[in-house]
Amino acid sequence: MGWLVTTLLSVLAVAYAARYLTLDPAVFFSRQRAVYLRHELPLAVHISGAVVAMATGPWQFSGRLRRRRPRLHRRLGVAYLLGCLVAGIGALLLAPIAYGGPVAGLGFAALAVAWLVTGAIGLRMILRRRVADHRRWMLRSFALTFAAVMLRLMLGVAGALHLDFRASYQAVAWLSWLPNLILAWWFTRPRGRAHGSAHDRAHDR
């Protein structure tokens, strides 16, 4: 059930974000429209990568796909990591001009760095055939990818509560991903050496 909800929300986020790839000013974030028009290339880089990462990410956690179509799982994994790389670079380019000033910009820059780092470690783990560690790091990576969904949900709640938009945006620049990462880290942390070794062997089968 959780996987289905996550996948559905991811698909909706992809549909929403993909509109930006038309570079039609009418679909741009209204408070940033003028800024985006001056920085269309980094915007397109970020959105194109994020769309790929969000579209492929949920399928990496389908046990049925991993078991029945391992080659497809690997190909989707490559696409996901490339999407994260492209989107992360785009995010770093956009962070200095983020709506909300330095507070929001620093939050988005930290998200981009964490996104790139978790993806790189996840790739390193699978290249070393450390499958259980790879899955841990990929879950942490997708928790950061899912920030795109959380950001829009949180802004929607802030709007419904008639909160100050600028202050809400600054807060959401951090709250859309930090709790995700903390929870993912908590649930994927090793439970002690002995238990962790058994856990890794069970997942590697």
Cα–Cα distance, 70 to 78 (Å, whole number): 12
Q: Count Cα neighbours of 123 within 13 Å in the Cβ-side half-sphere.
A: 16
The SS3 of residue 143 is helix
pLDDT of residue 201: 42
pLDDT of residue 44: 95
Query: To which residue do tokens 């930090």 refer?
Result: 178
Rounded to 5°, angle at Cα 165 from 164 and 170: 105
Taking every pair of Cα atoms in the chain, the longest distance, rounded to a whole number of angstroms, is 57
pLDDT of residue 190: 81
**Ranges of residues in the chain whose predicted pLDDT is under 50:** 194-205
pLDDT of residue 64: 87
- Predicted TM-score (pTM) of the model is 0.87
Segment 39-73, tens digit of pLDDT: 999 999 999 999 999 999 999 988 888 889 999 99
Burial grade of 196 (CB within 10 A; 0-12, 13-18, 19 or more): middle
pLDDT of residue 1: 73
CA 65 from centre of chain = 21
pLDDT of residue 189: 86
Residue type at 63 in one-letter notation: G
Cα–Cα distance, 126 to 70 (Å, whole number): 13
Tokens standing for 116?
Answer: 């790139």
CA distances from 112 to 51, 83, 99, 187, 202 (A): 15, 12, 16, 22, 32
pLDDT of residue 192: 63
pLDDT of residue 193: 54
Contacts of 66 (CB under 8 A, 6+ apart): 73
